[in-house]
Every structure is written in C-alpha cells, then in structure tokens.
Structure 1
Amino acid sequence: MTRDEIIRILDQVPGKISFLYENLETGERVGYREDQPLMAASVIKLYVMAAAFNQFETGKLRQDFSLPIYKKDCVPSCGALTYLHEGICVTALDLVTLMIIFSDNTATNLLIELLGMEEINQYIKSLGFEKTCLNRKMYDTEKSSKGIQNYITASETGRLLMMMYRGELVSEGASRQMISILKNQQLCSKIPFYLQALAEEPEIAHKTGEDRGITHDVGIVYGKTPFLVCFCGNETDTPGFERIMGELSLKLYEETNRSEAQNQNKSMDSMIGRKSE
C-alpha cells in the first residue's frame, strides 16, 4: 500500500486518529498524526511494564516478590484478579503478565503502588518520551471525572516497541522477556483479527487499549519481514476503526511478506472486500 492509500483510509475515520507503521528491516515508515497526544487507555500499561522490568534489573523489585490480593485492592474489569478468591498470592512478574495479556486493571494498580507513579514517570522521561505520562491509576473515576487522564502518542509508543525489538529497552534479556509476554496477548480482535486466520499465522507482540470512544492496538507483527504498527483512536467509531485496524494490518503483512502470503490470502481479500461493500 502506498502512503497516500493509507492516509486516505485513515482520513475517513471520525475522531482523533493517529497511526504509525515502520518496516523493521528497511526502515520504511508511514505516520499519520503520530505525535498527537491521546488518552492512553490500557496502552499505558506498556510503560508500566517497562518501568517494572527496569526495577527488576536494578534489584529494586524482585520478579518473585509475592503479595496477597484482597477485595479492597480490586477494581472492575478487565482481567482476572477481581474474580479470584480473597488472599490469593501473586508475584510481581505475575502482575506484569496479567496486566499485559488480560489487561488486568487490579494488577496494574498494584504495580503502580509497588513501583511508584513518580518513579514510573521518571523512567518514561529517561527514555526520552516527552508526551507520554501516567497521571492516574486504572478505573480512578474521581480523577477521570476531573479530566485527569493518562497520555500516549503513536510515535513514542512505536519507539518503545522499537527499543524492545532491538533489545535496547532495559536490557537485551528484559526486552526479550517483555516481547514474550506481549506475544501471549489474549485480546486479539484488532491487529490480529485477519492475521490469525492465515494458514501460517504470524506471531504478534501487541497491547490493546479501549474505553468509551477510545480504541488502540500497538505492536510488532513478525514474519519474514517484521514491522511495527500503532493504531490509536480517541472520540471515534470504535467498531469501524477496529475493522480498519484488522484490514490494514493484513494488507501491510501481505505487502511486507508477499512471497509467504500471496497464495494463501486470496479468499481473505475477497472476504474483506465483501465486508467493506
């Protein structure tokens, strides 16, 4: 797809939309309002994970540090901890894993307490990210009602993923472990939607985010030629934008991995064509 074709598609999506594509071998890049700060929803959890691994690396927090979870700690959805028995013990690494693969809000809030919100933001700034900021916990309705939100940009999130891919986020080992967690993502209705139906399904390391009028999915799609892609939307038609995330991700994969995908995707193209009519 040409840049103009991608921009034409994104221009039709209502609301505040940003997008970033980068081929991780050639460096080819397409951006669309990628520096626009947007309310983060659960994509901010990527940065909490990075801060957690930084503290694991420095020894400030152990991966096997264990703590009990009580009902007073729990917030509604997403995830699992809210629905498990009182006093269940989990490790710091368990919290990171649940935060990412199930987008567990209780796990996220406990990690924010363990790591420290100020310390998380200091780490974000140390990476050179000026627009990304954690301002409140998950499901803090009081602060949210006052307009206090967490913010990301597609460009800074893309740089975070690039650092992880190159083994430069915290350390090579930490980057590898974070990517492994992201590859186990269980919320797969956006970037992976059509890709997971391929005969040879590519691995995808990604993180979603959603709230009322908000939908994001950001990650790395692995194949013969891997690429990163960040879709971010506020005040938008979430079902419509999510369909476009799936369609564009498939088309980008086909183009960057044409020799692998061209024979197995004819039926997929026709299906998308029917859905778009």
Structure 2
Amino acid sequence: MTDDMNVKSESMNQGTTSQVETTSQVETASYVGTPSNMGSVGFDRLPGVRFSALAFDIDSGERVFAHNENDELDTASMGKVFLLHTALQMHVNGNLNLQERLSRRPSERVDESGIWYLMEQDDLSVYDVAVLVGAFSDNFATNVLIRRIGLENVARQVEDLGYRNSGLHDFLRWPRPAKAPRTLSTGTAAELSDFMARHAEDEFWDESTNEIFRRWLGAGADTSMVASAFDLDPLAHYNYQRDVWVWNKTGTNGTIRADSGIVMTPTRRVAYAVFANWEKGTDRVVDVMPIMREAGEAIHRFL
C-alpha cells in the first residue's frame, strides 16, 4: 500500500456550495411502503454478517426490499461517489475545470484497485482522473483527486445533500496512523440509494452534467455483486443489455462488500444499495456474494 501522506486541499472552500436546497431526501415518499413480494432476500441468513439494504422504484416509491436500511456500515470505496459529485459541483460553480491537468505524486501511489499505477503517464485531466475512479475505483487517482478537491469540501457537499450517516472520511493509505479516520468511508443503504435516485432524476444539475456523473459510474468494471444478476459485459454495459441497463459503484476490502446504483428497463427504474460487513480475521466473501446476487435477482424479478 502507500506510504503515509499529508494531503492538503488545493481547492477553494467555496467551490462546493450546491444549488440544490439542503434537505434530507431519506424522509421522502421514495422510502414509504411495504417491500414487494418479489423482493425476498436472505439478509438474515448469515450469522456474523451485518447487511444494510434498500431497493425501490424511483417513480412509484414501491420498495423491492429493505433490511436495516438506516444502519451505518463501513462501505470501503463507495464513498468515492461523493468525491466525484463534489468535483462536478465545483465545475458547475466555476471553481474547477475538468480539463485541468493533475500530476500524480509518488507518495499518493496505492496499488491493488485501479490501473494508473501501471501506466507511464504522470498527469491526466480532472475528467480522466474521475473516469479512472468511476471505472476501476482507482486508488492512485482517488488520492490525486482528493488533493485537488479537498476532503473538507467533500464533507461539506455531503452535508448539503442532506446526508448525516454517509461520507468519505480519508484518502487511501495503509497502515492508518494514530488519530487517522478509522475507515475510508461509511454509509447507509437509505442514503446511498437515495443519492443514486436523485442522480437518475437529474435533480442536481442540467441533464448533460448529470450525464457526466452517470457515465463515470457507467464505466464501472465491477459487476460481481448485485449487478451480477444481470449477466452484463463488465467492460461495456452503459446501454441496454437484454432490456436492462445498470450503472453502479462498488466498495471492497477484506471485511466489506458494498454495491449501489441504478437498474432500469425501458419502462421502470430501481435505485438500490446493499452493504455487508463482517468481523476482521474471518473470510465471508463466498457466503456474502450469493446474497448480493440474490438482491440483484429480486430487482430483476421486480422489473
């Protein structure tokens, strides 16, 4: 992993003020209703594994499934969606040019997730750095973008969005030094599914700007969790495949699996978030992944 770093913001603090009125969307009608009979998923089946899960029809508000949706869990790289959102908000506010070149630093290198550490190019545009974050959850690119955007600006934007139990708390580093944030990001299924639904409805900006965000996530190559139920081409699925279109973001580490996004057909749209946490020192991946797929299958039946 990377050496310890001192990443400081090079951005303008006023660059993240949202044009959306501050409100907690998790209290809206989107979350009212009894889960569909088609949405039975075995979230209680695994002792020692905590799930937070919610899926609902964006247009009718009907729930597909719900399980401890307001529980705050660790979400690994899921919080990177708030970094991408903040970058676009700063762009809209005139405080960030998506064509600005960002140069990477050796201290920001983190291997594993991503591909930039394998590439020769040392500088990329903000837009292309964001593509790497959306497509491959690129850790190197995330750290470079955090340096430009600033974690304090991301936190302010999340608050403006009305979310109280979700956020990106740190840059990528290992091991975490004393007094560093305990984990990279946390979230609730209620807040993350709401966030995705609002993007699907073009709530934040004009349609073309929202489309930038959706394309960043639409390039995501990880379809191993909830999205596995749709048997997508993982490298090219920003389109309808067998009448289903998915864009999403995932988060993964040794004790976390997280997936949140949008699944739609030509006539219906479902926002979802499914997070799983388990104890350190245990390997529950082979137990958790089938339940992630079950959640996707429940959405598929609903659609």
Q: 1:12 to 1:97 in 2, by over 3 A?
A: same
Question: Which secondary structure state, in structure 2, belongs to the residue aligned with residue 206 of structure 1?
Answer: strand
Cα root mean square deviation, aligned:
2.3
Alignment of 1:78 with 2:110, yes or no, is no
Output the CA distance in 2 between the equivalents of 1:226 and 1:181. 19
Alignment of 1:99 with 2:141, yes or no, is no
Partner residue in 2 for 1:264: none
Structure 2 gaps, min length 5: 1-33, 234-240
Alignment of 1:234 with 2:277, yes or no, is yes
Kindly report which structure 2 residues correspond to 1:93-172, keeping only aligned pairs within 5 A, or say none. 93-143=127-177, 148-149=182-183, 150-172=185-207
Output the CA distance in 2 between the equivalents of 1:74 and 1:54. 26
Greater share of helix: 1
Alignment of 1:176 with 2:211, yes or no, is yes
Partner residue in 1 for 2:44: 11
Output the CA distance in 1 between the equivalents of 2:143 and 2:77. 12
Looking at both structures, which has the greater relative contact order when contacts are Cα pairs under 8 Å and sequence separation is at least 6? 2
Alignment of 1:254 with 2:301, yes or no, is yes
Q: 1:167 to 1:187 in 2, by over 3 A?
A: same
Output the CA distance in 1 between the equivalents of 2:132 and 2:243. 24
1:234 maps to a residue whose letter is: N
Q: CA deviation at 1:185?
A: 1.1
Contact kept? 2:72, 2:188, Cα under 8 Å: yes
Given the two structures, how large is their TM-score scaled by the length of structure 1? 0.84
Kindly report which structure 2 residues correspond to 1:32-71, keeping only aligned pairs within 5 A, or say none. 32-71=67-106
How many aligned positions are there? 255
Q: 1:12 to 1:184 in 2, by over 3 A?
A: same
Contact kept? 2:35, 2:66, Cα under 8 Å: no
Output the CA distance in 1 between the equivalents of 2:301 and 2:36. 15
Partner residue in 1 for 2:268: 225
Output the CA distance in 1 between the equivalents of 2:220 and 2:85. 16
Q: CA deviation at 1:143?
A: 4.0
Q: What percent of counterpart residues are identical?
A: 21
Contact kept? 1:136, 1:143, Cα under 8 Å: no
Kindly report which structure 2 residues correspond to 1:196-235, keeping only aligned pairs within 5 A, or say none. 196=231, 200=242, 202-223=244-265, 224-235=267-278
Contact kept? 2:35, 2:62, Cα under 8 Å: no
In the TM superposition, what whole-angstrom CA distance separates every residue of 1:181-200 from its partner, at most 9, and x where no partner exists? 21221111112223126971
Q: 1:151 to 1:248 in 2, by over 3 A?
A: closer
Partner residue in 2 for 1:186: 221
Q: 1:43 to 1:144 in 2, by over 3 A?
A: farther
Q: In terms of mean alpha carbon deviation, does 37-46 or 187-196 score higher?
A: 187-196
Structure 1 gaps, min length 5: 257-277
In the TM superposition, what whole-angstrom CA distance separates every residue of 1:73-95 from its partner, at most 9, and x where no partner exists? 3112200111112x522011111
Q: 1:120 to 1:4 in 2, by over 3 A?
A: same
Question: Which secondary structure state, in structure 2, belongs to the residue aligned with residue 53 of structure 1?
Answer: helix
Partner residue in 1 for 2:59: 25
Given the two structures, how large is their TM-score scaled by the length of structure 2? 0.77
2:245 maps to a residue whose letter is: E
In the TM superposition, what whole-angstrom CA distance separates every residue of 1:82-115 from its partner, at most 9, and x where no partner exists? 1112x52201111111011101011111111101
